[in-house]
Amino acid sequence: MKRVALYIRVSSDQQAKFGDSLREQEDTLNDYVKTQKDMIIHSTYIDDGISGQKLERDEFNRLMNDIKNGLVDLILFTKLDRWFRSLKHYLNTQEVLEKNNVHWIAVSQPYYDTTTAYGRTFINQVMSFAELEAQMTSERMKSVFSNKVKMGEVISGSTPLGYSIVDKHLVPNEQADIVRSVFNYYNEYANLNQTSLYLLEEFGIARTMQAVRSMLKNKKYIGEFRENKNYCEPIITKELFESVNRQLDMNQKSNVKNVYLFSGLLVCGECGRKMNSGQKATWGNRRKDGTRIKYPPKSMYSCRYAYQHPKCTNTKTIREHVLEKKLLEMLDDSIREAITELKNVKENIPDIRKKQQSIERKIDRLKVAYLNEIISLAEFKQDKEKLVKELNDLSSETRSNSDEQRIENLEKLLKMNVAQNYNKMDLIEKKAFWRSFIKKIKFNADREISMNFL
């Protein structure tokens, strides 16, 4: 019996659309094996979304390993271009196959035959034409795109903020003023995080810092794209664009990162999401001469989700130094409350265990009732969901970390002179300090602050 490997490949959604899908290939190969009395399928190898010109295919590599390990005698695929379209890669692979006495058949093109010298020569010629066709197609596509760019036509469906596609061309729309504001804002403050927050707070548009950076470096805003210097109508001046990009490059080279003490710890008390950190400058009152003093940016936190979704009502922001002061003031009392709570939980653990066992028995009885058709599937799911929630709530009260150790750690922290030692720490040490004993800090829409300890 010949041990057969079925190899299947689709390089793009287009091929699937035009009738060369993975399922169709697999059905064709399986039907072929059923007609052969001397074949047994060893394994099926499927490479999805991989070009025939590329040698790095995960399933193809697995097939090659199986061949080298003597597990395969024959390879089946539907058409030659499913196997390779690069002559060089084909010849390298064929050398491995011949060393291991492995042949292949293109079941939808039976005139290809690797068992004879004539057949191998014929295949080499076909592979040469296939490779040439692939390269010519690539060159044709490049030429088409290049001509479109020269004509100022859009070559993709995505459009930059501030533009719309009209008759295949980019045309400034009503959001062009937003783009100008963003460029002017960054030109004044030179801070990506701050600019990202400005875009969100002023215009309700959420963008990551990386997305804002890409926007500020997009030459389409000055009317340029690739080799076409007049690709579209510009939104901003070339002078402003160059000024912004000089500052972007300078900031990237300096690689100075702000240290946010509570990033990752501070969560929104309304929606539970982690609050975003950033910096925002403040301005003094306007003076007699009409000017105002700009104060240095200060670290602050806000819930960006609240600006995008009405489900979260926490649109409040809190400055880092205010949060830091509040936490230090409430630290001792919060620790004492946590110690008391842990001691109460410790005393109640036997009762909690009994409640857990009782709920588990109820779930078992519920399963029996469903299996005996006493209750419906909908009733079973609804009742089980309630019981599982109760069980999870009780489980959260019995911590994996020993209560004794947690109490001991908090009591040690209580005995420390935190206020005196804290002021001697630098930013990195302060950040590590808060993370050494705090699991989560909550800040809600009423500006209430609470902390959960590790």
Structural Rg of the chain based on CA atoms? 33
* Active site positions, annotated: 11
Query: Is 406:231 a contact under the CB 8 Å cutoff?
Result: no
In 3D space, the residue among 200, 270, 262 whose CA is nearest the CA of residue 443 turns out to be: 270
Q: What are the pLDDT digits (tens) for 241-251? A: 998 888 887 76
Residues 419 and 409: their CA atoms lie apart, in Å, by 18
Mean pLDDT of the chain: 79
pLDDT value at 56 more than 80: no
Residues 43 and 62: their CA atoms lie apart, in Å, by 10
- β-pairing, 74-77 with 103-106? parallel
Query: Is 66:42 a contact under the CB 8 Å cutoff?
Result: yes
Residues 324 and 423: their CA atoms lie apart, in Å, by 12
Residues 100 and 68: their CA atoms lie apart, in Å, by 7
- Span 170-198, average pLDDT: 88
Query: Is 335:410 a contact under the CB 8 Å cutoff?
Result: yes
CA end-to-end span of the chain: 63
Name the residue with higher pLDDT: 17 or 269: 269
- Span 287-300, average pLDDT: 72
Name, of 190-204, 231-245, 291-305, 411-425, the range with top average pLDDT.
Answer: 231-245
Beta-carbon contacts of 11 under 8 Å, excluding residues fewer than 6 positions away, are 49, 50, 51, 52
Query: Is 217:245 a contact under the CB 8 Å cutoff?
Result: yes
Query: pLDDT value at position 47?
Result: 79
Residues 63 and 72: their CA atoms lie apart, in Å, by 8
- Span 109-115, average pLDDT: 67
